[in-house]
Amino acid sequence: MNIMTNSHILVHEFTYLEPQTVAEAIDLLAAHGDAARVLAGGTDLIVQMKMERLKPGYVIGIGRLTELKGIKHGPAVETVHSPAVETAATVAKSACADSLSIGASVGAHGRPAVETAATVAKSASADSLSIGALTSIREIARNATVRRHYTALAEACAAFSTVQVQVMGTLGGNLCNGSPASDSAPALIALGAEVVLLGPDGETRLPVERFFLGPGKTARRPDQLLTAIEIPQPAPNSGSAFLKVGRVAADIAKVNAAASIVRDGDRVADCRLAFGSVAPTPIRTPKAEAVLRGQVLTPELITQAAAVAAEEVSPIDDVRSTAAYRRKVVAALTVDAISRAWERAANGESANQRISEWRSADAQASNPQVGGNGRHATHAQDITHHASRTVALPHHRTIRLTVNGVRRRLQVADNDLLLNVLRDDLELTGTKYGCGIGECGACTVLMDGQPVLACLVLAAAADGANIRTVEGLAAPDGTLDPLQEAFLDYAALQCGFCTPGMLMTAKHLLEENPHPTEADVREHLRGNMCRCTGYAAIVRAVLAAANGE
Residues that bind ligand FAD (CB under 6 A): 37-45, 47, 133, 137, 160-161, 165, 168-170, 172-174, 176-177, 182-183, 220, 225-226, 252, 438-439
Closest CB 472 distance from ligand FES, rounded Å = 18
DSSP 346-399: HHTHHHH--HHHHHHHHHHSPPTTTT---S--SEEEEEEEE-GGGTT-S-EEEE
Please, which residue, 50 or 340, has the CB nearer to ligand FES? Answer: 50
CA atoms within 13 A on the CB side of 292: 33
455 interacts with ligand FES by CB under 6 A: yes
Q: Where are the alpha helices (DSSP H) in 223-293?
A: 286-292
Q: Please identify, among the stretches 108-116, 254-262, 387-395, 440-448, the one whose residues bind ligand FES according to the rule CB under 6 A.
A: 440-448
Q: Which of 434, 451, 472, 516 binds ligand FES (CB under 6 A)?
A: 434
Please, which residue, 68 or 271, has the CB nearer to ligand FAD? Answer: 68
Q: Please identify, among the stretches 30-38, 125-133, 374-382, 493-501, the one whose residues bind ligand FES according to the rule CB under 6 A.
A: 493-501
Distance, in Å, from the CA atom of 198 to the CA atom of 42, rounded to the nearest integer, reads 21
**Given 3-state DSSP classes, what are the helix, strand and coil percentages for the chain, each rounded to the nearest 5?**
40, 20, 40
Please, which residue, 358 or 433, has the CB nearer to ligand FES? Answer: 433
Q: Which conformational region is residue 217 in: left (phi greater than 0), alpha (psi within -120 to 50 degrees), or beta?
A: beta
Please, which residue, 72 or 386, has the CB nearer to ligand FAD? Answer: 72
Query: Alpha carbon of 108 to those of 24, 60, 101, 199, 507: distances in Å?
Result: 12, 20, 8, 12, 49
Closest CB 217 distance from ligand FAD, rounded Å = 11
Closest CB 410 distance from ligand FES, rounded Å = 20
Query: Alpha carbon of 304 to those of 201, 287, 339, 342: distances in Å?
Result: 46, 11, 13, 16
Q: Which phi and psi (to 5°) does residue 253 adopt?
A: -75, 140
Question: Which residues of 9-127 form beta strands (DSSP E)?
Answer: 15-17, 36-39, 58-61, 71-73
CA angle 392, 397, 402 (to 5 degrees): 120
Closest CB 475 distance from ligand FES, rounded Å = 24
| 437 contacts: CB under 8 Å, gap ≥ 6 | 4, 7, 47, 50, 51, 455, 456
- What residues are paired with 207 via a beta bridge? 194
Task: Judge whether 184 and 276 are in contact, CB under 8 Å.
Answer: no
Q: Which does 128 bind (CB under 5 to 8 A by kind): ligand FAD, ligand FES, none?
A: none
One symbol per residue from 498 to 527: x for binding ligand FES (CB under 6 A), - otherwise; what is it? xx----------------------------
Distance, in Å, from the CA atom of 77 to the CA atom of 329, rounded to the nearest integer, reads 39
Task: Judge whether 341 and 365 are in contact, CB under 8 Å.
Answer: no
Q: Which does 441 bind (CB under 5 to 8 A by kind): ligand FES, ligand FAD, none?
A: ligand FES
Please, which residue, 250 or 442, has the CB nearer to ligand FES? Answer: 442
Please, which residue, 36 or 89, has the CB nearer to ligand FAD? Answer: 36
| 363 contacts: CB under 8 Å, gap ≥ 6 | none
C-alpha 163 chain-centroid distance: 10
Q: Which does 116 bind (CB under 5 to 8 A by kind): ligand FES, ligand FAD, none?
A: none
Q: Which of 532, 536, 547, 549 binds ligand FES (CB under 6 A)?
A: 532
Closest CB 92 distance from ligand FAD, rounded Å = 21
Closest CB 186 distance from ligand FAD, rounded Å = 10
35 interacts with ligand FES by CB under 6 A: no
Q: Which does 177 bind (CB under 5 to 8 A by kind): ligand FES, ligand FAD, none?
A: ligand FAD
Distance, in Å, from the CA atom of 515 to the CA atom of 396, rounded to the nearest integer, reads 44
Which residue number places its CB atom closest to ligand FAD?
173
Q: Which does 120 bind (CB under 5 to 8 A by kind): ligand FES, ligand FAD, none?
A: none
Closest CB 142 distance from ligand FES, rounded Å = 22
531 interacts with ligand FES by CB under 6 A: yes
Q: Which does 531 bind (CB under 5 to 8 A by kind): ligand FES, ligand FAD, none?
A: ligand FES
Q: Which does 174 bind (CB under 5 to 8 A by kind): ligand FES, ligand FAD, none?
A: ligand FAD
CB atoms within 10 A of CB 206: 16
Which amino acid is it at 483? L
| 183 contacts: CB under 8 Å, gap ≥ 6 | 156, 157, 159, 160, 174, 242, 244, 252, 253, 256, 276
Distance, in Å, from the CA atom of 47 to the CA atom of 455, rounded to the nearest integer, reads 9
Please, which residue, 91 or 419, has the CB nearer to ligand FES? Answer: 419
Please, which residue, 176 or 440, has the CB nearer to ligand FES? Answer: 440
Q: Which does 137 bind (CB under 5 to 8 A by kind): ligand FES, ligand FAD, none?
A: ligand FAD
Given the rule CB under 6 A, which residues bind ligand FES?
A: 433-436, 438-443, 453, 455, 493-499, 530-533
